[in-house]
Structures are given as C-alpha cells and as structure tokens.
C-alpha cells in the first residue's frame, strides 16, 4: 500500500498544498508550529473520516474559510484509489472514492490503512483507561467494519440511555422504556467485548516477540483485556445497577469502561513500571499494530511518525528505524540530526515553513 500524492486546500494553515511521496521513507522537517502534523492529520482523516486529535471539521478548515478539501491518491494491491474529502463548516462532510460519492463513512474504512504514532502515544500505558480503549478502537475500526458499526451503535444507544436516565429524574413514568434500551445496549456491547478480547489475544501473539527483541530478551510483556463486564453477565449487571444509574443519571457498566492491563515480567506497569518500561511497551504496541494490520489485510499499512524520534532514546530510535525499511513511512521532525547520526537512508525530504512546503534535493541532505 502506497500513498502516492496528497493535495490540500484551505486545510488548517495550508491555503494550498501538493505533495508527491516516495514509496519508502519520507521526511517532513521544520520548526514547531509550522504545520507538519497537519499533513499527517489530513491523511488520517482520509483513512478514517476523523482527526486523530478529535478535532471537529469546522476546527480543521482554514481560518476565514467555509470549506476545505483533501485529495489522496492511494495504490493498493495493484488498484488505484482517489479519496476526495470535502469538509464544510456547517454541514456534514462529503466523501467520494474514485469520483463516486459514498453515503456512509464505514465505506471508507479499509481503503487506506494507517498506523499513526505520536508522542502522546508514548503515554498510552501510564494514562487512564480511555487512552487504551482509544488504541483498541482506532485499529479495530480500520480492520473490521462490523466492529465499527457495532461500536457506533453501542455509543449511540449509550448516549440515548444516559439521556433517558436524566429524563426519568423529571418523569418517572419513563422507567418502563428502559428495558428496550438495555436490550439494545447488551446486544451491541457484547459484540464489542468479543471483538476486543480477540484483538488483544492476537496482539499478544505478535507483541511478545517484538518486545523481547527491543529489551534484549530481558523483559516479557503480556497484554490482558479487562472488560468492565463479561458479555454473558452484561444484562444482569445492568439490572443490578439500575438504582445507582438512576441516582447518578449515568450508565455505570459496559465496554465504555473497559481497560487493558500491560504486564512486564508479571508486574502491572500501568502502576509500577518505570517511564522507560512504559515507553518501550508503547513502542512495542505500535510496532505490533503494523504486523497485525499486515497479517489482516495481506498488505503493509502506511506508517505516520509524528515527531516521535525526539522522544525516544538512541536504542529505541535505532530499533524503530531498523523496523520500517519495507513500509512506506512519513516522518515529521524538527531536524535531520538523528538520521545523519544513524546513517539512515532517506528517500525524500520536505521542509515546511509556515504553511509552505519545499522539496529538498538529496544533495542538500548530504551537506546538512
């Protein structure tokens, strides 16, 4: 899988941008706050229809404009795809694939598979359960359209149930309608739980070898899925917790409260791990993600590294860089020193200055 080109119009700080990528290693460098991450974000939006930052469409559109456009050309399994995305300030976005409009974002998933690695991901272990759920969901949604649909339905029903709990406080007769929502919540929630459990099982098969290699076989990693409720007991626990839910006007049980435990040598590093252990585990998670996607789609995903190298020590830098030679990778950074020091092969270099991008000649890099 290769991203051949990217065009942006009125996207964040870019009035207009046109980039052609090499099929291997691409570096985008420049000072902070120049727009490097915006380029990676736009690709992620084309892959998933959403920003990795959680930004709304109106926040992405360039200041003083009402619309924004993204165009990405993708080559996948000898097939060519053109994804056109039209973001609007006050209307739903428009999406077309090869010139044909699609009605639902779910039809977009799976065309462009991306693994996105940012400095924030290095904190996935030490941060709260929400970060680890986001990790599970972001990859599962790209790989499994059924999961995407189940998760969307679950979250929609969860919001409706929470609204009903608030309404019941004002009108007690509405209690009789809660059973209908509970049945639907359990139906989609059980499917979400099963998919997450299977994904963590498959991730364990991949991550243990990678993590052992990074740590010189000194550490053994294990991922443990921690569902808030087991699918067989979900309805029973919902009924048991109803009075508490009435009191707090919120649903207290379900996969929206799941977590994933990460153990190193049988120790829970969420609580007791050093920062180095937590960061190495996060790196192992991301590299495992690449291998798992490759196994699922029979092709390699696109790897986006957003200023991650500066957050890793030299050993982890080297391991990461040595792991990506066969993957199209787009890396943002503030300078080229790490690559020069490691004699790392780069195929294309871009420099970003305040929303303008300049392709650099290889000779410029060698002289740098």
Segment 246-300, tens digit of pLDDT = 999 999 999 999 999 999 999 999 999 998 899 999 999 999 999 998 888 888 9
pLDDT tens for each residue of 211-244:
999 998 999 999 999 999 999 999 999 999 999 9
Given a cut of 80, whether residue 364 has pLDDT beyond it is: no
- pTM for the full predicted model: 0.89
Contact (CB, 8 A) for 8 and 14: yes
| Type and span of the H or E element at 332 | strand 329-333
**Residue 137: per-residue pLDDT:** 93
| Higher per-residue pLDDT: 365 or 299 | 299
Strands 14-20 and 221-226: unpaired
**Residue 284: per-residue pLDDT:** 93
* Residue 363: pLDDT band with limits 50, 70, 90: low
Provide the mean pLDDT of the chain: 91
Instruction: Say what angle helices 314-322 and 178-214 make with each other, to 10 degrees.
Output: 100
């Amino acid at each position: 899988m290769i991203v051949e080109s990217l065009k942006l119009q009125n996207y964040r700080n870019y009035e207009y941008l046109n980039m052609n990528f090499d099929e291997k290693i691409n570096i985008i460098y420049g000072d902070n706050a120049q727009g490097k991450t915006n380029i990676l974000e736009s690709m992620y939006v084309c892959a998933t229809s959403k920003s990795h930052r959680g930004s709304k469409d109106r926040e992405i559109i360039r200041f003083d404009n009402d619309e924004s456009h993204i165009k990405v050309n993708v080559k996948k399994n000898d097939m060519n795809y053109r994804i056109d995305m039209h973001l609007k300030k006050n209307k739903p976005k428009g999406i077309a694939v090869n010139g044909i409009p699609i009605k639902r974002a779910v039809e977009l998933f799976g065309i462009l598979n991306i693994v996105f690695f940012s400095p924030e991901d290095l904190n996935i272990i030490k941060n709260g359960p929400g970060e680890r759920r986001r990790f599970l969901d972001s990859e599962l949604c790209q790989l499994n359209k059924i999961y995407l649909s189940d998760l969307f339905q679950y979250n929609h029903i969860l919001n409706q149930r929470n609204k009903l709990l608030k309404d019941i406080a004002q009108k007690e007769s509405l209690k009789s309608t809660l059973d209908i929502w509970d049945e639907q919540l359990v139906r989609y929630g059980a499917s979400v739980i099963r998919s997450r459990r299977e994904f963590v099982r498959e991730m364990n098969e991949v991550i243990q070898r990678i993590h052992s290699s990074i740590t010189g076989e000194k550490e053994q990693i294990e991922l443990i899925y921690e569902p808030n409720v087991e699918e067989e007991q979900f309805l029973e626990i919902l009924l048991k917790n109803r009075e508490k839910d009435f009191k707090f006007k919120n649903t207290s049980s379900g996969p929206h409260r799941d977590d994933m435990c990460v153990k190193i040598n049988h120790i829970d590093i969420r609580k007791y791990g050093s920062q180095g252990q937590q960061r190495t585990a996060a790196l192992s998670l991301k590299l495992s993600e690449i291998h798992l996607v490759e196994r699922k789609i029979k092709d390699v995903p696109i790897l986006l590294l957003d200023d991650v190298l500066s957050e890793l020590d030299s050993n982890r830098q080297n391991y990461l860089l040595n792991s990506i030679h066969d993957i199209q990778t787009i890396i943002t950074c503030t300078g080229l020193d790490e690559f020069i020091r490691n004699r790392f092969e780069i195929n294309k270099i871009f420099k970003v200055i305040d929303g303008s991008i300049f392709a650099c000649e290889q000779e410029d890099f060698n002289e740098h």
